[in-house]
Amino acid sequence: MIIYIKGAMMAFQTKLHILLLCFIIFSFSCIVAVPKEQELDRISSLPGQPSSVTFSQFSGYVTVNEQHGRALFYWFTEATTSPDNKPLVLWLNGGPGCSSVAYGASEEIGPFRVNKTGSSLYLNKYAWNTEANILFLESPAGVGFSYTNTSSDLKNSGDKRTAAQDALVFLIRWMARFPQYKYREFYIAGESYAGHYVPQLAKKIHDYNKENPHILNLKGFIVGNAVTDNYYDGVGTVTYWWSHSMISDQSYKSILKYCNFTEEKTSKKCDDAVSYAVNHEFGNIDQYNIYTPKCITSHNNTIRYMRHKSTILHRISGYDPCTEDYAEKYYNRRDVQKAMHANVTNIPYKWTACSDVLNNHWKDSEVSILPIYKELIAAGLRIWVFSGDTDSVVPVTATRFSLNHLNLPIKTRWYPWYSGQQVGGWTEVYKGLTFATVRGAGHEVPLFQPQRAYILFRAFLAGKELPKS
């Protein structure tokens, strides 16, 4: 009996040793299996970066079309804690033609802010990478550091190639470079014209997953101040201008009379009516947030006075209207580009926050994204739409008019949600979609109201309703 027990123990120990050896070999194989390209993209440190940074960062290029030489630039910031257990979120800015590095990463949800001189970075208290691994993509080719070797691409971009082709190819190839994120819970987020990009890419992934392994484990998307439907967005925008005293009764009636928001080309009467309202009635305001000062960049005495006023308002509200200028200073520095493995082909133009060439030559734009919403709601994706209520470019009324025509059943009626002891905004939960406003936020919600945007994002990831108290 003792001999039997001793033999059993020896057999058990042998199996245990084998298991431990297998575990060691498996762990080692996982370590060495990390693609070389991934390590080459690692950012050791950014110039002027705070010394307290502990999370990993990567940036570089992924070729999405060899024939044309199109390559998209990304910047990936892993979660500050437990990145292996947190979801992956792709962030896209709109324009079309604007940079996710300039806006999303540097003045909205990214881990850093750029100081006024463009000489250093400081931490963003409400960075979204405390909750998820965040992937910023400069898309399409021609935006920011992303490039093409075929110049005609810059004048032939559009929704289909940007959302439905290049972005999907980018993600599949990025996953090959970062295999640890295959099958990871995945979400897409964005704002403005990304109201087209995000749902279109979500649909493309959904269709791709029907016939391929689900390496892109898409769970849902969230978009803010999103371009959604030409007609309802148009009527809603003009209504916002009128209801917020930005235009006269006469201009309001003229625009609604002469403008057909579903047509690609507008009539002269429509152009004249809109032009008069914008040039003679708006005044010198920031249309992306009608209650904050504009960034003034000239150098006369009046301008310096306005800058002084902006500085005072910045101290009070935390908002600085010139952040885009600081980003352009920082990302045009050669030491910054070298650290980020950017501009390796020496693109023949400066890095800018937005590309006028792309914006002015955008070829195809869907009239309405509502059919995609219906399809993806039926597919069971988690979908949230939010809207800063001081934006006059894609205002809250535009979004509400558009979403109302989905005719979704209401699950939780309209109520105020809270950030601390203050109302953060209002929300209504429908079957298949959550809509939320963010009080006091402009077009870039996380820029104007970072804490409220952070609470919103955290609730979205958790799949929970926004706090009622």
Catalytic residue among 196, 286, 391, 419: 391
> Checking phi first, is residue 290 left (phi over 0); if not, alpha (psi -120 to 50) or beta?
alpha
Give which of 191, 176, 193, 189 is closest to 218, Cα–Cα. Answer: 189
Q: In the annotation, is 443 catalytic?
A: yes
Identify whether the C-beta of residue 450 lies closer than 8 Å to the C-beta of residue 126.
Answer: yes
Q: Rounded CA gap, 144 and 429, in Å?
A: 36
Q: In the annotation, is 192 catalytic?
A: yes
Fill in the amino acid letter for 366: E
Phi then psi dihedrals of residue 418, to 5 deg:
-120, 145
| Cβ neighbourhood burial of 203 (10 Å; 0-12, 13-18, 19+) | buried
Catalytic residue among 99, 157, 392, 443: 443
Provide, for the chain, the percentages of residues in helix, strand and coil under a 3-state DSSP scheme, each rounded to the nearest 5.
45, 20, 40
And the tokens for 36?
């070389």
Give which of 437, 388, 387, 395 is closest to 415, Cα–Cα. Answer: 437
Phi then psi dihedrals of residue 467, to 5 deg:
-60, 135
Specify the DSSP element, H or E, that contains 380. none
Rg (alpha carbons) of the chain, rounded to whole number: 24
SS3 267: coil
Determine how β-strand 57-65 pairs with β-strand 382-388: unpaired
Q: In the annotation, is 196 catalytic?
A: no
Give which of 229, 165, 261, 259 is closest to 366, Cα–Cα. Answer: 229
Q: Rounded CA gap, 135 and 444, in Å?
A: 18
Q: Rounded CA gap, 53 and 45, in Å?
A: 9
The C-alpha angle with vertex 414 and arms to 411 and 416, in degrees rounded to 5, equals 130
| CA distances for 43 relative to 38, 56, 402, angstroms | 10, 8, 42
The half-sphere exposure of 261 on its side-chain side, counting CA atoms within 13 A, is 19
| CA distances for 335 relative to 102, 119, 168, 330, 424, angstroms | 17, 11, 31, 9, 40
Q: What is the DSSP string of 164-202?
A: IIIHHHHHHHHHHH-GGGTT-EEEEEEETTHHHHHHHHH
Fill in the amino acid letter for 461: L
Which residues are identified as catalytic?
192, 391, 443
